[in-house]
């Protein structure tokens, strides 16, 4: 009684292994609903059940030459399904983790932008509080990237005076912005 079942299973596995589409379709008809129910019962997810069953039969056909004739086709199908389900769940977990990470990073970046915007506003306000000539020299030096000799030529003041204005501006900015930096 045990031997004929084993032989019929071996023939079916052997037929699939040899590329028989008819044997493959028979296996599909016989096991697709059982696989679906098994996965659905385990996960409670229609998506996982459908995806796992579909990928299981695709993999069965693609890897048919590697099937073992020692094991029933059902055993091999459920092993393939289990492996695919584990992979799907891992990928889902990884994607969820990545999405959380991306959300966190974007929130941190947005917060940093806000903080930098506030700091920049404070620096610009402090520069506006400088005396007019000191402010003008500082802006030409730092914002327009002009050298001391270029500023000297433009404003008709000595390079030493320019150096003094920039030094006073930096000293004032350090003192007034010490709370921020």
CATH of domain 129-176: 1.10.10.10
pLDDT digits over 77-95, tens only?
Answer: 999 999 999 999 888 888 8
Q: Could you give the CA distance from residue 68 to residue 74 in angstroms, rounded to a whole number?
A: 12
Contacts of 61 (CB under 8 A, 6+ apart): 24
Q: Write down the domain spans for the chain.
A: 2-99, 129-176
C-alpha 1 chain-centroid distance: 56
Structure confidence at residue 68 (pLDDT): 86
Q: What percent of the chain has pLDDT over 70?
A: 90
pLDDT digits over 55-75, tens only?
Answer: 999 999 999 898 888 888 988
Structure confidence at residue 51 (pLDDT): 93
pTM of model > 0.75? no
pLDDT digits over 28-57, tens only?
Answer: 999 999 999 999 998 898 999 999 999 999
Structure confidence at residue 179 (pLDDT): 63
Structure confidence at residue 109 (pLDDT): 74
Q: Helix and strand tally (H, E) in the chain?
A: 7, 0
2-99 and 129-176 agree in CATH topology: no
Confidence of residue 4 (pLDDT cuts 50, 70, 90): very low
Confidence of residue 180 (pLDDT cuts 50, 70, 90): low
Mean pLDDT of 124-149: 90
Confidence of residue 2 (pLDDT cuts 50, 70, 90): very low
The CATH class that applies to domain 2-99 reads mainly alpha
**Contacts within 8 Å (CB) and 24+ apart, 120-123:** 122/177, 122/180, 123/173, 123/177
Per the model's pLDDT, the better-predicted residue between 55 and 178 turns out to be 55
């Amino acid at each position: 009684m045990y031997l004929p079942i084993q032989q019929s299973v071996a023939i079916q596995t052997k037929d699939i292994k040899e590329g028989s589409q008819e044997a493959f379709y028979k296996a599909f008809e016989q096991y697709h609903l059982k696989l679906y129910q098994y996965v659905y019962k385990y996960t409670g997810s229609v998506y996982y059940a459908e995806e796992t069953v579909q990928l299981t039969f695709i993999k069965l056909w693609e890897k048919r030459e590697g099937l073992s004739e020692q094991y029933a086709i059902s055993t091999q199908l459920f092993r393939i399904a289990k492996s695919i389900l584990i992979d799907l769940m891992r990928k889902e977990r990884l994607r969820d983790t990545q999405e959380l990470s991306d959300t966190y990073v974007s929130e941190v970046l947005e917060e940093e932008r806000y903080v930098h915007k506030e700091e920049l506003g404070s620096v610009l306000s402090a520069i506006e509080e400088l005396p007019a000539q000191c402010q003008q020299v500082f802006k030409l030096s730092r914002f327009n990237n002009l050298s001391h000799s270029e500023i000297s030529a433009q404003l008709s003041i000595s390079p030493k005076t320019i150096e003094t204005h920039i030094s006073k501006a930096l000293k004032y900015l350090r003192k007034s912005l010490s709370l921020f930096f």
